[in-house]
Amino acid sequence: MISFILRRLLQSLIVVLVLSLVLFIGLWLIGNPVDVLISSEATEADRLAAMKALGLDRPIWEQYLVFLGNAVQGDWGTSFVYKEPVTRILLQRLPASIELALVAFVIAIGFAIPAGLYAGLRPQSRLGRAFMSFSLIGVSIPTFWQGMLLIVAFGIMMPILPVGDRGEVATHFGITSSLWTLDGWWHVVLPAFSLALLKLSLLIRVTRTATLEITRLDYVKFAHAKGVRTWRVVFVHILRNAMVPLITVIGIELGNLLAYGVITETVFSWPGLGKLLINSIKVLDRPMIVAQLTYTALLFIAINFIVDVLHMTIDPRVRAAMGRRST
């Protein structure tokens, strides 16, 4: 287990390094941020001065090394636009994104797994088919459009839910979040549902397929043949085995929720990371972009690690395979 963790850490380090290098070169190819930042009337001298101030006059490899050196010490640079340390801005925005993602995640999992399980166990039933139709609609509608529809439905035609902003926030245990207040919850419901809809629909289908496949297997028939109660067959034998493929999908989807809430955050003007990323890209705020995409990479690395650990916990065969590889 320890060798597995060490190996993973080393792999992760390499991934982050390569990613930051690709990012750096990619952004350098896109264009010079100074052209976007300074006004069009500025002289060539002003332009050079601005480049010098931002460190853009130095060769690309030198810029990269300076960035790496600082990043290791926790300094991810200063935003070109906000003139503030990038890490501080990120930490300000992070809670909003995380709270939205977590609520969406709970909605998605809480509905998709029972619904998918039911649809898999009773594929011919009316309710099972209704879940499938729902999920087909869910995966087919683009997120921005269903977001706008939700705003029209619940904000304008039936104005019962707020449709923008986080609402009231409060700070407990050093975390500022709207989930501490009732008004905040009121605000988070609609965007969270909008964000959850696609994942939810996808997860219903994955859960149903896994359940259908496993129900046909001999060990489920054998569990019935032992006289095991139906609910126990479903939860101990079928669901647990279905979790093996599900966990991978759930992990990826959680990562997507945390990193790519861009569209939903834009539609519902949610002050999270997604909106920040879009704005940063528009003005080529290099340090912001690099920091955010690195955060995304780290997030996925962490989630993949957790998924692997969960697989090892659930499935003894994976445990055995990991053990063999590390020795």
Partner 1 sequence: MSEAFFEVSGLNTWFFTRTGTFKSVRDVSFSLRRGEVLGIVGESGSGKSVTGMSIMGQVDEPGRIVSGSIKLDGEELTTLSFDAMRHYRGRRIAMVFQNPLMTLNPLMRIRDQMFEAISEHEPASHAEMQSRCIDALRSVGIPSPEDRLSAYPHELSGGMRQRVVIAIALLLNPDLIIADEPTTALDVTIQAQIIHQMRRQIDERGLGMIWITHDLATLSELADRILVMYAGAMMETGTTADIIGSSRHPYTRKLLESVPSLNVPGEKLRQIRGSMPSLLTLGAGCPFKDRCEFATEACAEAVPERVFSATHRVWCHHPIEDDR
Give the binding site for partner 1 (CB under 8 A).
124, 217-219, 221-230, 232, 236-237, 240-241, 244, 314-317, 320
Residue type, 132: M
Closest contact distance (angstroms) between CB of 304 and partner 1 is 21
| DSSP one-letter code for 181 | S
Residue 64, exposed/middle/buried by CB under 10 A (0-12, 13-18, 19+)? middle
Closest contact distance (angstroms) between CB of 16 and partner 1 is 34
Of 10 and 217, which has the nearer Cβ to partner 1? 217
Closest contact distance (angstroms) between CB of 240 and partner 1 is 6
Of 285 and 308, which has the nearer Cβ to partner 1? 308
Of 92 and 230, which has the nearer Cβ to partner 1? 230
Residues 217 and 191: their CA atoms lie apart, in Å, by 40
At residue 171, what are phi and psi to the nearest 5 degrees? -115, 120
Closest contact distance (angstroms) between CB of 132 and partner 1 is 17
Residues 188 and 120: their CA atoms lie apart, in Å, by 31
Q: Pull the structure tokens for residue 67.
A: 């960035």
Contact partners, residue 187, CB within 8 Å, separation at least 6: 162, 165, 166, 167, 178
Residue type, 301: I
Of 102 and 228, which has the nearer Cβ to partner 1? 228
* Under 8 Å between Cβ of 184 and 167: yes
Nearest to 20 by CA among 306, 298, 304, 303: 298
Closest contact distance (angstroms) between CB of 326 and partner 1 is 18
Closest contact distance (angstroms) between CB of 172 and partner 1 is 39
- What is the Cα gyration radius of the chain? 24
Instruction: State the number of CA atoms in the 13 A half-sphere of 187 facing the CB.
Output: 22
Looking at the DSSP assignment, which residues form a beta bridge with residue 114? none
Which helix (H) or strand (E) segment holds residue 248: the answer is helix 240-259
Residue type, 54: L
Closest contact distance (angstroms) between CB of 110 and partner 1 is 23
Closest contact distance (angstroms) between CB of 241 and partner 1 is 6
Q: C-alpha angle with apex 70: 286 to 6, nearest 5 degrees?
A: 105
Of 38 and 314, which has the nearer Cβ to partner 1? 314
Of 242 and 273, which has the nearer Cβ to partner 1? 242
Closest contact distance (angstroms) between CB of 222 and partner 1 is 5
Of 47 and 319, which has the nearer Cβ to partner 1? 319
At residue 169, what are phi and psi to the nearest 5 degrees? -115, 160
Of 85 and 245, which has the nearer Cβ to partner 1? 245
Of 41 and 218, which has the nearer Cβ to partner 1? 218
Residue position matching structure tokens 């279905």: 242
Q: Pull the structure tokens for residue 127.
A: 């309710």
